[in-house]
């Protein structure tokens, strides 16, 4: 096998506050994660991606960072992180961290200094402070500078100093008002973030996942958007707030920095754009990977899978980087629920996981996906996602703490017995999907995930899978979806309502045993050697 380690990697996303609680306060932390690293290693994955654990007021569960080079006491200490990093490397796991370069916390010292410095100061040039519009000559700057909307609902602007007669500026926040956007047209911002990257790379972190990587730069002059509708599709409805051409130079700079380290550090982008646009971020001198966002939110629709797969393949041919596959993350409804819920959704999520791991390129799985966890309907009074308060949408259902034990004590083993209740409540029956229970069941979702990852590794080792593989997608009669990654291998997914005849070949693996040779029953997936 040639290429870099990440070309064939399976990465496990860890949402630290929901993975394992080491100190009994009801919130997952770094010591809890360290203790559970052997479980992650037992899956056969190549590394972990950790969502933010840096100091933060936790307005957006850590994506409002107040210190990019620290550890929030909620999660532990820097010594805890150093120990975790060493232990992960000792288990053969690489470690990727989240970096959030589009915005910070309103509690960040540089933003606080900007507020104090006032209009016209160099401190304010680090962010987007702008005079507003006026509804009348007697009401200066009483309206936002433009019609841009926040991802979380409502306008994307807040007054810097409400009620002040002398400070009438507004500041931009594409997310919550507690997350002011950096002004990337100021070179000092780029220099600041280079220091952040160097800090973590010097510690030995293996790579970074870059949050809303396509944002950063906003259209010059910040004119009104074509539409003032709420931005609920990852910024796509407002072309002025993301995908500006200048952003690519940021990632060229970061790529040069990543390649100064040995081994080279990995850059993975959250780029929520159409495949042809997203692929531009993985050109040879930019990021190494970008999540296939067109794929990650798909339902159980064979035509949609074939269409998106074909678009991603065309983008790969144009720019050279294979898609980075995922079907779940901490921001979207879990696949069991998206695919129909209940027994049907569970079967389909098993099939989808097998399909995902057979596709050409790296694969990312989200904690609990290997257990077949469904979305949880978190009671309204327990919801903490800021999107719920501002926009009536919640991501809490995908963030409920993992069930480690069948016994409900300690929130099913998430915390020590007698500890505080978990930060999000676990639902009735959560223990039926617990790690402990699935470890004993050779037919469990967990056992399937381990088997598929192990076989994937062997197929990379024996040359069946290569870095040059593509993906030819086609949809056959009866809802049989095929992705042929090479002349000798294809992935088949039966997405119709009746058994589908497989192409001639040897079935290497399937989500469920085949009930009849040569036929794939509905809601099953198989890998075939041709």
418 within some domain: no
pLDDT over 70 at 91, yes or no: yes
On whether both 153 and 265 belong to a single domain, the answer is no
pLDDT over 60 at 233, yes or no: no
CATH code (residue 517): 2.60.40.1180
First to last CA, the chain: 20
Q: Domain of 372?
A: 10-102+186-220+232-377+442-449
193 within some domain: yes
For residue 132, name the pLDDT band (cuts at 50, 70, 90). Answer: very high
Q: How far is CA 458 from CA 93, 189, 202, 392, in A?
A: 18, 44, 33, 45
pLDDT over 90 at 366, yes or no: yes
Q: Using alpha carbons, select from 65, 465, 93, 467 the residue that is nearest to residue 288.
A: 467
On whether both 238 and 297 belong to a single domain, the answer is yes
On whether both 252 and 326 belong to a single domain, the answer is yes
- How much is the mean pLDDT over the chain? 95
More confident residue, 128 or 236: 128
525 within some domain: yes
Token output for 509: 């693996």
Specify the pLDDT at position 140: 86
pLDDT in tens, 418-446: 999 999 999 999 999 999 999 999 999 99
pLDDT over 90 at 387, yes or no: no
pLDDT over 60 at 232, yes or no: no
DSSP code for 129: E
For residue 229, name the pLDDT band (cuts at 50, 70, 90). Answer: low
CA dist., res. 239 & res. 271, Å (int): 14
396 within some domain: no
Report the Cα 436 to chain-centroid distance in Å: 26
On whether both 86 and 199 belong to a single domain, the answer is yes
Q: Which residues are CB-neighbours of 303 under 8 A, at least 6 positions away? A: 475
Specify the pLDDT at position 24: 96
- This prediction has a pTM of 0.96
Token output for 415: 């915390």
How many structural domains comprise the chain?
A: 3
Specify the pLDDT at position 329: 96
pLDDT over 60 at 171, yes or no: yes
On whether both 107 and 41 belong to a single domain, the answer is no
> What is the average pLDDT across 261-266?
98
On whether both 287 and 215 belong to a single domain, the answer is yes
pLDDT in tens, 460-472: 999 999 999 999 9
Sign of CA dihedral 433, 438, 444, 450: positive
111 within some domain: yes
Q: Is the CB of residue 489 less than 8 Å from the CB of residue 353?
A: no
Using the 3D structure, point to which of 404, 422, 449 is the last residue of a domain: 449
On whether both 171 and 281 belong to a single domain, the answer is no
b/e 441-474 (16+ beta carbons within 10 angstroms → b): eeebbbebbbebbebbbebbeeebbbeebbbebe
On whether both 63 and 129 belong to a single domain, the answer is no
414 within some domain: no
For residue 230, name the pLDDT band (cuts at 50, 70, 90). Answer: low
For residue 320, name the pLDDT band (cuts at 50, 70, 90). Answer: confident
> What is the average pLDDT across 233-248?
86
What is the dihedral angle through the alpha carbons of 115, 119, 124, 130, rounded to the nearest 10 degrees? 110
For residue 154, name the pLDDT band (cuts at 50, 70, 90). Answer: confident
> What is the average pLDDT across 255-261?
98
Q: Is the CB of residue 438 less than 8 Å from the CB of residue 447?
A: yes
401 within some domain: no
On whether both 285 and 312 belong to a single domain, the answer is yes
pLDDT over 90 at 382, yes or no: yes
391 within some domain: no
CATH code (residue 126): 3.90.400.10
Q: Is the CB of residue 446 less than 8 Å from the CB of residue 454?
A: no
Catalytic residues: 211, 270
Please tell me the least confidently modeled range out of 171-180, 223-232, 394-403, 449-458.
223-232
pLDDT in tens, 196-208: 999 999 999 999 9
On whether both 216 and 357 belong to a single domain, the answer is yes
């Amino acid at each position: 096998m040639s290429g870099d380690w990440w070309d064939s990697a399976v990465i496990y996303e860890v949402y630290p506050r929901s993975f394992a609680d080491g100190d009994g306060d009801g919130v997952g932390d770094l010591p809890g994660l360290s203790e559970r690293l052997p479980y992650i290693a037992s899956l056969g994955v190549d590394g972990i991606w950790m969502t933010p654990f840096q100091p933060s007021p936790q307005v957006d569960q850590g994506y409002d960072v107040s210190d990019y080079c620290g550890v929030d006491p909620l999660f532990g200490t820097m010594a805890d992180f150093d120990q975790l990093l060493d232990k992960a490397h000792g288990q053969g796991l690489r470690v990727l961290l989240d970096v959030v370069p589009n915005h910070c916390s309103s509690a960040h010292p540089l933003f606080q200094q900007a507020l104090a410095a006032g209009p016209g100061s160099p401190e304010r040039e680090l962010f987007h402070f702008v005079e507003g519009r006026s509804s009348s000559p007697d009401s200066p700057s009483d309206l936002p500078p433009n019609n841009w909307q926040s991802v979380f609902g409502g306008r994307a602007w807040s007054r810097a100093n409400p009620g002040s007669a002398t400070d009438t500026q507004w500041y931009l926040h594409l997310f919550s008002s507690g997350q002011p956007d950096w002004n990337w047209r100021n070179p000092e911002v780029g220099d600041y973030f280079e220091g952040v990257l160097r800090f973590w790379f010097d510690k030995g972190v293996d790579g970074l996942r870059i949050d809303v990587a396509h944002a950063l730069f906003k259209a010059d002059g910040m004119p009104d958007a074509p539409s003032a509708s709420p931005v609920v599709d990852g910024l796509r409805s407002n072309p002025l707030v993301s995908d500006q051409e200048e952003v690519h130079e940021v990632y060229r700079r970061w790529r040069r920095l990543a390649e100064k380290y040995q081994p080279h550090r990995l850059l993975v982008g959250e780029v929520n754009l159409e495949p042809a646009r997203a692929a531009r971020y993985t050109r040879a001198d930019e990021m190494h990977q970008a999540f296939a966002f067109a794929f990650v939110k798909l339902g159980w629709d064979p035509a949609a899978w074939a269409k998106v797969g074909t678009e991603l393949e065309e983008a790969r041919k144009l720019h050279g980087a294979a898609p980075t596959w995922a079907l779940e993350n901490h921001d979207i409804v879990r696949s069991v629920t998206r695919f129909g819920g209940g027994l049907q959704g569970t079967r389909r999520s098993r099939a989808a996981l097998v399909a995902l791991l057979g596709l050409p390129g790296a694969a990312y799985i989200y904690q609990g996906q290997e257990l077949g966890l469904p979305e949880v309907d978190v009671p309204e009074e327990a919801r903490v996602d800021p999107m719920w308060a501002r926009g009536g949408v919640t991501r809490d259902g995908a963030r409920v703490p993992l069930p480690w034990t069948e016994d409900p004590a300690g929130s099913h083993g998430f915390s020590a017995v007698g500890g505080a209740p978990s930060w999000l409540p676990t639902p009735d029956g959560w223990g039926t999907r617990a790690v402990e229970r699935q470890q004993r069941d050779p037919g469990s979702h967990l056992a399937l995930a381990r088997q598929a990852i192990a076989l994937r590794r062997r197929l990379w080792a024996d040359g069946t899978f290569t870095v040059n593989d593509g993906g030819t997608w086609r949809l056959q009669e009866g809802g049989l979806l095929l992705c042929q990654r090479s002349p000798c291998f294809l992935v088949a997914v039966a997405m119709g309502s009746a058994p589908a005849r497989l192409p001639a070949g040897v079935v290497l693996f399937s989500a469920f045993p085949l009930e009849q040779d040569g036929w794939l029953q509905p809601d099953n997936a198989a890998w075939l050697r041709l």
